[in-house]
Each structure stands twice: as structure tokens, then as C-alpha cells.
Structure 1
């Protein structure tokens, strides 16, 4: 099987990352925009020793899992991978992918993966968009990168964005409101809710101020459920101390403060720390303090001083935890960890390390914070043996 060669595949599953999986001549072939049950004609575009990647030429027999994509740019834009698959099947696919990641990467023999909590809205759920700009001979383009990551797809609207974001995209396009070619534009939903340089987000009837340049959970309709899951794992019994690592603007801290005598939030982004302190004050939280620092440095210092902590909440970026942070966590010997992740692969890698240091994965709850895309959020609970 060589590059540019064509073959006919029976697609048997969908791999982590969103591509359908088929086999030909003993070779595993990954084909984007296919579904389990498809019979497809495919052209080989990349060949490796153990696998190949293919380009979909056509569907001969469509899978019963298929549905009509809502977005006119689907298949070209690199944002969504699953719009051609009915939503209930997307959830099953993601649950299986999380299990496989913890089996193969995490080396967990029987991953305790629960059913995926669905997003109440499978479309129009995102509260933030970051679009790229480019100046071309035909004028300014505004959109997302294509499936190759090399070209900009000029878009008029995005179907997974909350509608007020699409209105802002339309306004920006009509005014060509771009600082310069190649710059990014960030849009938040309901822009009239801003206070100064902050964006206002509401979770479980509580308002949070978030810096425009900062991070906040993107799904407007599922964040409440994620907070509920974190609080459930933290338990009803009050703990002496909780450490909220990578706390952002204090989302989890505000809700976990009631479960601790004292809570410390650590965040590297200075503006987010400023708003975390303000959010705590606005919500009447008096037992929390927030530190602008690297979480690895903070945990390493705690280990050296032999400071005790009863619960650590971890919510790192997609890259997961760095070796310094993992080493420090193991030295601190905290009895309970809650690990929130938007990347099951790096989370599974980190869980493998933590397991070797004496932690056991007790539960793993996926939440579909990123419907129609290849991404999935997971909340893991680890207990020290």
C-alpha cells in the first residue's frame, strides 16, 4: 500500500483524534470524516511502517450512525470532526476513546469510566471564539485553520458558537475590524455583560469576572454539571485544607471553599489571580487566598516544608502536568486528588506516573464539553493507597 494508491475500506471504529479506522493489506488506515459502519473509497496520503492515513474519496455504503452536518464548512474547517455522526453515537465513541487511553497509555487494567455526560446543547454552546485573520487579494479573511492546519478557512458563522458570537463575527467582517493580517480576534458571548476589561460568566447563579485574555470553561450549558461533579468528589465533610492548582479566575475555588477550613488557589496568569480574589470577595468567600505562581514551585516548596494538604484539585492545560509538578505531588502525599483534564491522553500519562507513586484511580467521569469535536473533558478522582 503506497501513497496515492486507492482502496476500499470497511470502517470499524473511530480513533482518538476523530479519524475512522479501517484495515487493508494488514495495515491500519486512519480516515477523517468517516464513521463506524461506512464502506468507503480512500486514497492513501501518508504511509508509515505500522499505519497509514487516507483521504476520503467517497462513501459507497453509509453507516447508520451518519447524520447531515449542520455546518457548511464541515470537512474543510479543522474545528469539528464529528458533525457527520449522530450525537448519541458521538458520546459512545468518546467514552470508548477515554477507556482506550487509560488502558493503553495509563496502563489501568479496568478504567472506571462512567457514561459521558452529554451537553444540553450539541450546537451553539461555545461562549468564546478565537479566530485568525489574513489579508488576501480578495480582501481580509476571518476564520479557522483548515484540516491540514496550513490554510485559513474564511467563515461567516460557526455553528457551535453561541449566536451572539456569530453576530460579532458578522460585524467584524462588515467593518474589516482587524488590527493586522495574521492577528487573532477573540469574541466572548453576550459582550454587553463585560465589566471594564473583564467578561462576566455565570455558573450556578454565581457571577464570575474573567479577563478577556484569560481562560474559562467554553461550554455555556455544561459547566454547572462539571462543578457539581468536582464538588461531589470533594465530599460533604469539611477538610482542613484544599489546594486548587491552575485555578484560573477561581471557578472551582468559589464552590469548594465551603468544603474547607482554608483554600489556596494557585495560578500563573496574574490577571486571572486578580479576578479570582475579586470573585471570592463578590461571593462572600473569606477562607480563600490566591497566589500568582508556578504550581510546580508551590508544591515543591510544600514538600520541602512538609506542609499537609487534604485535597489537591488539578486542572492543567492540554499538555498536562510537567515532571516537576508530578514529582512534588507525590512528595506531598496528599490523600485525595481530583484531576480535571481536556486531554485524556496526557491525563492517562500522568495517572500512570501517580499510580506508580501510590495513587489509585477511583473514578473517571467524561463530560462532552466540546460537542461535534474530537475533544472531551474528564474529571478523575485518585486516592492514595
Structure 2
């Protein structure tokens, strides 16, 4: 698809700013009006803030200090904006290196310099954490592209009945055909492209969400950044795989570097990518990777941080905050496959990992054996209930390490931490907003935030990781 340019010139007279693809005007929306505005700041989603007729509006891809022409339309109480052209660009603006940037929903900040992205994320965390203390400077990534060790490609048909593969457009299930995502591992995108070509030469059809017909829904690829091992997961709507042998043969011939191939079956009408049933076509069904000097087994369903370079920095900081001397009992809540807990076990007397997902617990036990760790035990169950029962038995934990999902923890879990009364809590979060809510609860119940460390785990996006140390009042 061709890319139109912004009409606005920068100070050097060069015209190099691409315009986002126009969107179809929804029914019921009034005819747009055009306005010249100046951006005063950014929202937490990285959108520009402007004033128009006494209202505060948000404009995608607009930067502070910029003057621009925007289109404004109303539908009921909702106001829609679209950036038309930049009149006066910011020094923080760059040409996004990705040709799909203005269509795809995966990245939000590629039109900003790395330095501007760093300031934006630091400011976001600084504002959120004001009630507690000033955060440390954010830990950035030297080479902030091609970092994702996990990629997900969706397949479908275009209007000409041609097979396409790519990522979803922003806020939709429209597939944007693409050959390369710049934050993916390049080898993963190359393999996804080969699968698309194999589909075109066979009778296999992509799955159609609207009709429920078709076979292949997604391809999930995981790459061991250290080991070089590659897992390809074919997510299909059926357990019957027509022409399986020819498909596998063609894929292995094109990519002998693939170390395992898995057929996952997802028959449900759901936004979840993976289904419950899977069959390994070749290889062990897992890959391995190294983190913190330890080797971890990664399965199709297991959670593993997507940016191993930044994860090393994050976990190093978490261990520094834990301040282990070899005498402590450590609880690894939400332990997953045991990454944090097993790294902590090298410096602690005992580690207890608790996780609801039974598959992850099995992986954690396997990882402990693989690394010769004998002072860590992993249990399937609710970590909050587990800690309450420990407290009722009079058992103690010196450090609780927690890495909850984006929604954060609930009050039941946090109250169980308080009942156990560890000296230190190391709280790793992929969502500082929910982390703030949880820190407020912990501070009201006898803990003080002693250090807060943001980490840029997801360059080119608005997301930021944050690690906090809480120490119990004496």
C-alpha cells in the first residue's frame, strides 16, 4: 500500500513525514471540520493532547510543541480526531522505520526518537509513583529493535481471495499483510513468510472468523536467543491436518534450523490464541534458553519474558533489591516456569514457588532439576491461600518476590502477604498503574517503598516494566 506524505514541511524545508492511512468514516458521524492546533503534552497512551473549542482532545502521532492540522468529527458524545499534516514538527519526530507503522497496532512510539521515548516513559512512571518516591532512571535498551523472542502471525484472505499473513490493525481484527515486523526476531518473520507460501501451494485455507471455516488460524514462533533453538506452533481450527507430511517436509526443507514443530488445536470462538490440545510433529515440543546463567525449558504455553536482553537487567535489579545472604526463605509468587525463583535460589537458603497453572509448575520442577537446584520447591495452587496457611502454621518467609499479570494483584493476595510479614517484598510489574494501586495497599499495611526501578522492556511501545522494593516497618 502506498504511503502518502504529510504536507507540512519541517524547518529544513524537507517533506518527510508520512500520513497515517485514512479511516472509513463510521455511519452517523458528522462531517469533519479542520482545525489548526498545538500539542501541549502526551497521554499515557502516547497520544498528543490539544485544546479545541474549550475541549481537551487526543490526537494519535502528535508530539508536544508541534503545530498541526487535524480533522475533527463528532458521533454522539464521542469526538474523533485524525492528524492531517504537520505544520511545525518537533525535534523529537523521526520517520518511523516500519512501513506498516501507521496501520498496525503493535507499536505506538516509532515516530519518536529513542531519547524522546525514554523521557516519555520516565515521566509516565515518575508521575504514577509520586505518592511513594522518585524512581531511578529507566534502564534502556542499546539496540531497541528485533528484541521479541516470541512472534504471532495471523492468516486470512484478502478481497481478491489471496492468502495473507500479518498482524491486526489497530483496534480491529483486520489483518495488515506484512513481511517484516521490526521488533520481531527476523528469523521468525522469515519462517512465517515461508508458511504463507506453502499455504498458497496447498489446499489448506486460513481460518475465517466470520464463517468458522478454514484450517490455519495463527502461527506462534518462539526463538531461544542464546540457544538458537526455534519452536513453530501451528494453531489450527481442526485436529485433522490434510497433507500434513508434505507440509512438514516443505517447511523443514526450507528451514532446517527449526528444532521443533507443534500442532495446536483451537476450536473455540475466542480471542485466546492457543487451544488446550496439541501434538508434537517433531522435536521435543520445547526449546531452551539461558537467563541469569541458568537454562530454562520453554513450552508453547509457558510464559517467558519476550525481551531476554532487558529481562537480564530487570532480574539483576530484582536480586539486588532482594539482598539475599544465603540465609533467607523466599516465596516466588506467580512463579510461572520458575525463572525468578531459580535465580534467587543461588543466593537463598530456600525458595518456595507457587503458581496456579499446572503446566507451568511442571516446567518449573523440570527447570530446577535441569539446573541442579535442590533448595527450591514448586507447588500448584493459589499463592495467597498458600501464604495464609504458612502464617497460620507459624512459618516465616523473609522475602516475597511477586510478578503478577497486567491486572496486578487483588486485595486477598496482598492481605496474605501482609499476614506472612516478610521483611522485604520485591514487586515486578508489567503495568505500573495497577502496581501503584497495590503499593498503596502495602504502604497502608506496614510497608514502605524504598526503591523503584523502571525498565524499558518493550521499546517502540507505550508499555514499561517496573520493579519496586518494599521494606516492612520496624
Q: What is the TM-score with the length of structure 2 in the denominator? A: 0.75
SS at match of 1:76: coil
2:128 corresponds in structure 1 to: 101
SS at match of 2:328: strand
Report the CA distance between 1:320 and its aligned residue: 0.8
SS at match of 1:365: strand
Query: 1:142·1:173 contact (CA, 8 Å) conserved in 2?
Result: yes
Report the CA distance between 1:222 and its aligned residue: 1.5
Query: 1:46·1:52 contact (CA, 8 Å) conserved in 2?
Result: yes
Aligned CA distance change for structure 1 residues 237 and 86 (closer, same or farther; 3 Å): same
Q: Please tell me the root mean square deviation across aligned C-alpha atoms, in Å.
A: 2.2
Aligned CA distance change for structure 1 residues 48 and 113 (closer, same or farther; 3 Å): farther
Report the CA distance between 1:205 and its aligned residue: 3.9
Of stretches 296-305 and 314-323 in structure 1, the one that deviates more from structure 2 is: 296-305
2:218 corresponds in structure 1 to: 184
Aligned CA distance change for structure 1 residues 210 and 7 (closer, same or farther; 3 Å): same
Cα deviation per residue 1:3-42 (whole Å; 9 max; x = unaligned)? 8343222122222122122223332221111222221222
SS at match of 1:40: strand
2:366 corresponds in structure 1 to: 278
1:288 matches 2:373 = no
Aligned CA distance change for structure 1 residues 239 and 151 (closer, same or farther; 3 Å): farther
Q: 1:139 aligns with which of 141, 157, 162?
A: 162
SS at match of 2:112: coil
SS at match of 2:107: coil
Measured in 1, the distance between the counterparts of 2:410 and 2:205 equals 36
Structure 1: unaligned runs, 5 residues or longer: none
1:160 corresponds in structure 2 to: 183
Measured in 2, the distance between the counterparts of 1:3 and 1:259 equals 65
Aligned CA distance change for structure 1 residues 163 and 354 (closer, same or farther; 3 Å): same
2:27 corresponds in structure 1 to: none
Query: 1:112·1:362 contact (CA, 8 Å) conserved in 2?
Result: no
2:346 corresponds in structure 1 to: 258
SS at match of 1:347: helix
Structure 2: unaligned runs, 5 residues or longer: 1-29, 210-216, 231-257, 261-282
Q: What is the TM-score with the length of structure 1 in the denominator? A: 0.91
Q: 1:269 aligns with which of 346, 354, 357?
A: 357
2:333 corresponds in structure 1 to: 245
Aligned CA distance change for structure 1 residues 348 and 61 (closer, same or farther; 3 Å): same
Report the CA distance between 1:200 and its aligned residue: 1.3
Aligned ranges 1:180-259 → 2 under 5 Å: 180-182=207-209, 183-189=217-223, 190=228, 191=230, 192=258, 196-259=284-347
Of stretches 332-341 and 190-199 in structure 1, the one that deviates more from structure 2 is: 190-199
Report the CA distance between 1:151 and its aligned residue: 2.2
Aligned ranges 1:34-183 → 2 under 5 Å: 34-44=62-72, 54-103=81-130, 108=131, 111-137=133-159, 138-176=161-199, 180-182=207-209, 183=217
Cα deviation per residue 1:54-111 (whole Å; 9 max; x = unaligned)? 22122111110011111111011000000010011101110100122234xxxx1x53
Report the CA distance between 1:140 and its aligned residue: 3.0
2:463 corresponds in structure 1 to: 375
Aligned CA distance change for structure 1 residues 46 and 73 (closer, same or farther; 3 Å): farther
Q: 2:49 aligns with which of 21, 26, 47?
A: 21
Measured in 1, the distance between the counterparts of 2:205 and 2:364 equals 31
Cα deviation per residue 1:210-237 (whole Å; 9 max; x = unaligned)? 1111111111322211121111111142
Report the CA distance between 1:120 and its aligned residue: 2.6
2:267 corresponds in structure 1 to: none
SS at match of 2:191: helix
| Structure having greater relative contact order (Cα 8 Å, sep ≥ 6) | 1
How many residue pairs match? The answer is 378
Measured in 1, the distance between the counterparts of 2:191 and 2:42 equals 35
Measured in 1, the distance between the counterparts of 2:448 and 2:74 equals 39
State the structure with more CA Rg: 2
Measured in 1, the distance between the counterparts of 2:339 and 2:79 equals 42
2:427 corresponds in structure 1 to: 339
Aligned CA distance change for structure 1 residues 185 and 359 (closer, same or farther; 3 Å): same
SS at match of 1:113: coil
Report the CA distance between 1:178 and its aligned residue: 6.8
Query: 2:455·2:465 contact (CA, 8 Å) conserved in 1?
Result: yes
Query: 1:115·1:366 contact (CA, 8 Å) conserved in 2?
Result: yes
Aligned CA distance change for structure 1 residues 207 and 323 (closer, same or farther; 3 Å): same
Of stretches 327-336 and 162-171 in structure 1, the one that deviates more from structure 2 is: 327-336
